[in-house]
Amino acid sequence: MAAWGERLAGVRGVLLDISGVLYDGGEDGGSPIPGSVEAVARLKRSRLKVRFCTNESQKSRGNLVGLLRRLGFDISEGEVTAPAPAASLILKERGLRPHLLVHDGVRSEFDQNDMSNPNCVVIADAGEAFSYQNMNKAFQVLMELENPVLISLGKGRYYKETSGLMLDVGAYTKALEYACGIEAEVVGKPSPEYFRSALKEMAVEAHEAQR
Amino acid sequence: MAAWGERLAGVRGVLLDISGVLYDGGEDGGSPIPGSVEAVARLKRSRLKVRFCTNESQKSRGNLVGLLRRLGFDISEGEVTAPAPAASLILKERGLRPHLLVHDGVRSEFDQNDMSNPNCVVIADAGEAFSYQNMNKAFQVLMELENPVLISLGKGRYYKETSGLMLDVGAYTKALEYACGIEAEVVGKPSPEYFRSALKEMAVEAHEAQR
């Protein structure tokens, strides 16, 4: 394996994931992964630009950053690329009025969106809010649209909490895709568009970045 | 279109679906589809053998037949092919001990199965029981198995109730397939094996049947 100095030659920026990389979530808020608080601090002291690029879609950016700061991380809201604010912008640009199938914790990210008479569905990691009733409502909204648009914040299969493995948004997106015979648009990783927007926010080209 | 007499030449048996063909379900139990009670009666007076082949997996066969009789249909339990009793037999033959993700109404069909230390998951149209907690539990059971077996009672996308369209088991099966990276085995329509078992039960060959 090449030495770090060699591997990092030409690298100007680093994209860091958050969940499962900086910390593991849990009912108590979660806990930092050993060494990660110090690693972030060292990166920030270095010549490298640092940005946090997450698929976290249960919490607003503000709540996520608040949690991470309480866990000891040096991080601010402006340093985080998250799918909900990115989706909110896309909805506005395209004149889309969302029906939200999301966790209550992230709902505030869509405060600027018109929710009347929905013409699309936005699905995020809703956790317990993935009830049959809520899934069925989202399904019915899609089936009533002439051109159903489903926007999925990420497509993760599952993630790890301190209590065990948890189904992620991708599984529920597949359920709606199959029921409606449609394909979702993904806002979040692994969409190349999403990575590009994170790089743009730290003014680094793709070939100059490491994740 | 050929006259019925011509189309039925050589036909000895008829397989009838139940939900959406004989009746539409609903919170009040549902209502017969106009003409269907009389159509079943006429078929039964004819020289044709009749069998009912359903993917209904929310109710036990006994409960389903009880409901249909109250709606006016001449039908008995022995005339019905349903996925839950078929799956129960398959489980026993293969030494599989199921974790059930099913509606309470159909649970009794698995009374003869060993549920200790599950080595597979059986998923059916669970309706409101498709909570996040129940889906996650089934997911965790599968992820802990070296060779995860998921048996799905049908693969319907959705069905119609008097109150509107409802997500069916197929959507939730897709969610678990995606999350676990596996493919479910389907017991129920459209599995050819399932149709064959229904034909065998009325002693009719495939080329002699009409559905």
Q: Looking at this predicted complex, what is its ipTM?
A: 0.89
A168 and B158: CB-CB below 8 Å?
A: no
Task: Please give the CATH topology (third level) of the domain spanning B4-82+191-210.
Answer: Rossmann fold (3.40.50)
Task: Please give the CATH topology (third level) of the domain spanning A11-82+191-210.
Answer: Rossmann fold (3.40.50)
Interface size, chain A vs chain B, as Cβ–Cβ contacts under 8 Å? 85
A160: nearest CA in chain B? B140
Please tell me the CATH superfamily of domain A84-186, with its number: HAD superfamily/HAD-like (3.40.50.1000)
Residue ranges in chain A modelled with pLDDT below 70: 1-5
CA distance A198 to B49: 66
Q: Give the tens place of pLDDT for each residue, A90-142.
A: 999 999 999 999 999 999 999 999 999 999 999 999 999 999 999 999 999 99
User: Strand pairing of A31-32 and A23-24?
Assistant: antiparallel
pLDDT score of A167: 98
Structure tokens at B124: 């059916």
pLDDT score of B60: 95
A152 contacts A169 by C-beta, under 8 angstroms: yes
The domain limits of chain B are 4-82+191-210, 83-186
B165: nearest CA in chain A? A140
In whole angstroms, how far apart are CA B21 and each of B5, B15, B43, B81, B156?
Answer: 22, 11, 14, 15, 15
Kindly report the backbone phi and psi dihedral angles of residue B95, in degrees, each rounded to the nearest multiple of 5, phi listed first.
65, 30
A120 contacts B150 by C-beta, under 8 angstroms: no
Name the residue among B132, B166, B168 with its Cβ closest to that of A128.
B132
A171 and B179: CB-CB below 8 Å?
A: yes
pLDDT score of A7: 73
Q: Give the tens place of pLDDT for each residue, A84-102.
A: 999 999 999 999 999 999 9
CA distance B148 to B139: 10
Q: Closest Cα of chain B to A138: distance in Å?
A: 10
pLDDT score of B161: 82
Structure tokens at B26: 């609903």
Classify domain B83-186 by CATH architecture: 3-Layer(aba) Sandwich (3.40)
> Matching CATH topology for A11-82+191-210 and A84-186?
yes
Residue ranges in chain B modelled with pLDDT below 50: 1
Q: Which residues of B touch A144 (CB under 8 A)?
A: none
Segment holding A120, helix H or strand E: strand A120-123
B128 and A132: CB-CB below 8 Å?
A: yes
A177: nearest CA in chain B? B171
pLDDT score of B3: 66
User: Strand pairing of A164-167 and A158-161?
Assistant: antiparallel
pLDDT score of B26: 80
Q: Give the tens place of pLDDT for each residue, B62-111.
A: 999 999 999 999 999 999 999 999 999 999 999 999 999 999 999 999 99
The DSSP code for A106 is G
| b (16+ CB within 10 A) / e for B108-119 | ebbeebeeeebb
pLDDT score of A210: 77
Closest CA to B60 of B111, B118, B130, B121: B111
User: Strand pairing of B13-16 and B150-152?
Assistant: unpaired
